[in-house]
Structure 1
Amino acid sequence: MDATAKFLKELQSEITCSICRGYFCEPVTIRCGHSFCRACLSSSWRNGAPAFSCPECRQDSQDREIPLVNRCLAELSELGKELSSKLMQSTEGQSHCVTHKKLFKLFCDEDQIQLCVTCYETPEHGAQKISLVQESAHKYRRELENLQIRLEKHLEEDEQLLAQEERTAVDWHGMIMGEFDKLHHFLMEEENLCLKSIREEQKASQDRLSQHMQSLQDLMQELQEASHQANLDLLQDAKQLLGRSEAVLAKQAKAVIPELREYPIHSLIEMFNRFRVDLTLDPRSATSCVTISEDLKHVKARGDWEVGTKAPEDCLHHYVFAKQVFSSGSKYWEVDVTQLPQWILGIYTPNLKRKRARNVASCTSVFLLQCVKKEGDYYLQTYPGPLNHQMKSPLSRVGVYLEYSLGTLAFYNVLQSSLIYNFHSISFKAPVTPIFSPGPPLPGTKPGPMTLCPVDSHLCACCYSSQ
């Protein structure tokens, strides 16, 4: 009986449909060699499908027609079902209780075991739900049939939903691509307008400087001619000439010193906020010049600030360092400088060689943006770098973006969403540390703190206009 059961089990695996998990009904065999019920394969190969593939091995089939019924396999399936039925009947007829040597005629629903009459009479089974084997088998067959009907109904509903989804599916791929195309178009237009404005302002500045130079040349020519005039003629025109000279000279600073322009870039700061880092100050870096708050987010200048003429990288005792250091990736942080007339922001990286103009190598360890106040006007300067521009008004919040792998360090006016200055092509060889300096303070003033903004602090211009 064991050999027969093993043979029947192997036979069942050959005559069972892998889709419905039942014996083949009108079996068909496709090119890859796998067989299925004709109805199951037809349901799998829905009309309108781009390719017909085997439900088992997924190999594509060029044939879109359902093959003819495999008669040999159909006969084998019928023979297998008949053998299975006979074996089941034989097994039922020869199933005996090992303990009492009697036929199993009862079934315990609670313990899911077969019982003979003597087993039923024992105390441990007397109070449990017992029924005849035939009745239990009939009940479970009915439940399994009902379950199969429900599964077939759900399968049919899912197939209908899938077909409907394919007919009415939204082309999200195309729609999203279209939205990004529009965004690219808007950004391109904004870039063109910004570049056009820069060219126009550069030309206006060059024209203004050229006119000022021409005025100086004309004035020099007049002064030279006046020096050869007779005394009476000289005295007649001298006062007017001197007045005109003073007026021309007064325009020199405005003509020569450039003004920092603001070119807002849409959604620039929102993009950088993806790389926002939460910085804290290193209390060990506090010196006699600066003090750090307990929450490590504020730094203030002290009264004994030493003002010197050394290069910024030689005055590190004026700076406070961040606890965090960076050696990879993109990082962005913001600093509130509202209460400071003068300040310095940047990074420190030791022993860095940097190429300057004409391929002259120089060593620098700091890259800085500095705000300086002179005679009521504010100026932004970079070190190293050429920036020395006058501002229309002092800055409130400065954003700093570091891209380590690209060697980029950029400073931004957060409220205007505009670039201030960009260091590029820096060959970082060591970790980078953000540095901060709330000074030098102006004589006779009590400047407030420089504040490291929290990562969830996102401000716009209206936030400051109400203060």
Structure 2
Amino acid sequence: EIETSSVHTGKDNWTKTWKLVWWLGRCQVTSLSTAEFLCSICLEVFDDPVAIPCGHNFCKKCITEHWKANAPCQCPNCKKDFNTKPELHVNTFIAEMAAQFRRKEAAELGNVPCDVCTGPKLKALKSCLVCLASYCESHLEPHLTSSRLNRHQLIDPVENLEDRMCERHGKPLEMFCKNDQMCVCLLCAVLDHKTHDKAELGKKEVEIKQMIQKRRLKIQEIKHSVELSDDNAEREMAEGVQVLTALKESVERSQVEFIDTIKEKRRKTEKQAEGFIKELEQEISELEKRSADVEQLSRSEDHLELLQSFPSLNTSQSTKDWTEVRVHPPSYEGAVVRAVSQLKETLSELMKKMFEAELKSVQQYEVDVTLDPKTASPHLILSDDGKQVKCGDEKKTIEDSPERFELCCVLAKQSFSTGRFYYEVQVEGKTNWDVGVARESINRKGKITLCPQNGYWTIWLRNEDEYSACANAPVSLSLSSQPEKVGVFVDYEEGVVSFYDVDAAALIYSFTNCSFTEKLYPYFSPFLNNGGKNSAPLIISPVNQTE
């Protein structure tokens, strides 16, 4: 920072100020907004700026006329009153800064003319610090093609190039002396400012270029991440479409099979009914014929003929007893259930394959997790390698600290604040346990309520077979089998914490839409020993991926 009070008038300091302004321009000080150089009275760029005792700056003419029109003498900005009218002196530093700002704006508008053009001045493309001249496109060509001139230092077009050269040695001003607050050339730095603290502009330029290069590399890194994201998205969509298409086809097959089953049962029923109806119609025809015969015999007076024909009219010998004959409508009630049950079985097989693929996918983010004895409750016993923990029968006497839990809990040494990670815990043989992750700022003293609101994302087992996800409202979990090894996966950016039954390759539960803002630590609680019933340790085990 440069205080304006340290800049004085005088020829030498005038030159220093010019050079200082140029150096500040190279350091992008002149990239300040226009408002930094406006008089608050006329709202124009300062003209003969003066500083009054309260520190505010105005155009000399503006503040003079303001005080003539308004009494007493008061600052237009802060309203500070002055008993006597302050003596006004032009602030040369601010004046030159304002002038530099005007020139910079003019340059940005393309108003730096070519110094070689004899007719109308064309817009300069570059300025040469050796020739101290600016050149348009045609007059710049020798500097680009001549072996003698192409060594000259070219910059973006600026006016007053002589202010960028050392008056004493005629060399470009390339360094800034912090002691004398002035720009100097390389010879000045060696001869007159050898012991002074200097800032080499060339080094600053190299540093800035390195920063630019790092940011360009970061852009490439981000673009590569986007490309990977696109590839992953395409792959996931393809796999998802394949799975859902297979599921859709399975549903359609089940629907066709269900409809065919119903139709077949209806067809059999209709065929049976048609057979009965045809048989009944035949018997009716036969009976109608016999009825006509009986009617004809009943009119005959020949009793001998009647007696001889009567046995042939006996209907019991040629007709069927239809009393117990029934057409039973088929049962359709179980058809839908069986179709859905078959579909569920297909879906279960499909889900199992999906979870196997998902588990294998998250296992690639395995991290090496070890328990941190500094956080372990005095009730816990940790193995020497930091991979096992169980609850002892007695509380140990160890030094307490803010990091240490009072109850049967312990964190891992490793923390994560970005990306994805995965680890597995063997829980076989235990009747009670807690597993998950916790944020750094959790409460570690007294009774702890495990829930995301308190910084814990965990699941637990209680009373041998009662599984729950410790959400803000606990969620009871119904598992088809008791996990012997639990996998824990975290995606920090996506806000996901998932738990897997490793052996069954099944998803146990997922916390989603989590908002992580702190470091996350793997969290373990082997729970109380319970008289030896729960003495088995929790074991952090290496991932064993199966092909």
Q: TM > 0.5 between the two?
A: no
Q: Which has the higher strand share?
A: 1
- Give the TM-score taking structure 2 as reference length: 0.33
Larger radius of gyration between Structure 1 and Structure 2: 2
- Give the TM-score taking structure 1 as reference length: 0.38
Q: Which has the higher contact order (CA 8 A, sep 6+)?
A: 1
